A and B are shown apart, each in its own frame.
Chain A
């Protein structure tokens, strides 16, 4: 069965610093991979997704993620974090025919 691990429960970064959020997945075939962001009291918004092709995927709000099959990872990155990026981030994996499996999330705090 597929699973997603987000090793970091909470990360704090300074505004302007770079960011990397980790995501590891377990899935038997080529996965469909997603990153979502959730602001407090809101639903989840899709940041980016990977299906095939170029392993570096660009998303909204300046985020990107890289699919590394050999490491079963799909880490999210941003070169310069803004205070408005403070939120909860969820990685998800899905085979396409069944509901997505979500990780437990990583809370991002941004300090001045």
Chain B
């Protein structure tokens, strides 16, 4: 089992508010990811990091930002939330190498912007 934790699990916030979704892993994985997923739909990679001070944008354009100051921590921030940001956000991390980049997921953070 993977040890990757996301908080909050569920959040309802008003339009224009700033929100940070927390993600931490205790496995020492260098690679971490954020995916966005609408209910019953496919996953979209929005950000990833291959190590401290490394961040890249994913396939889906996102107004969110990420930072990677510590190996175990990969928070995602929305500076000004909008209803279009309502979605599930999944954090993940992967093995450092030699195992095909197996990805392990957190439980997800459900964000509702009203």
Contacts and interface: CB of A to CB of B under 8 A. Distances in A.
The judgment on whether A and B are partners is yes
Interface of A: 32, 34, 36, 41-46, 49, 51, 88, 90, 92, 94-100, 102-105, 107
Contacts of A90: 43
Closest 9 CB pairs of A and B: A32-B100, A43-B105, A104-B42, A44-B105, A43-B107, A43-B108, A51-B100, A94-B101, A102-B43
A99 B69 CA distance: 20
Interface of B: 6, 33, 40-43, 45, 48, 58, 90, 92, 97, 99-108, 110
A43 B102 contact: no
A99 B40 contact: no
Nearest to B95: A96
Given A34-B102, A43-B90, A90-B43, A99 B108 contact: no
A104 B6 CA distance: 23
Contacts, number: 57
Contacts of A49: 100, 102
B90 A107 contact: no
A46 B102 contact: yes
B101 A96 contact: yes
Nearest to A9: B40
Nearest to A102: B43
A100 B58 CA distance: 11
Contacts of B97: 96
A32 B101 contact: yes
A69 B97 CA distance: 23
Contact of A107 (B40, B92, B108): B40
A49 B104 CA distance: 12
Nearest to A97: B101
8 contacts: A32-B100, A41-B108, A44-B103, A49-B102, A94-B100, A99-B48, A100-B101, A105-B42
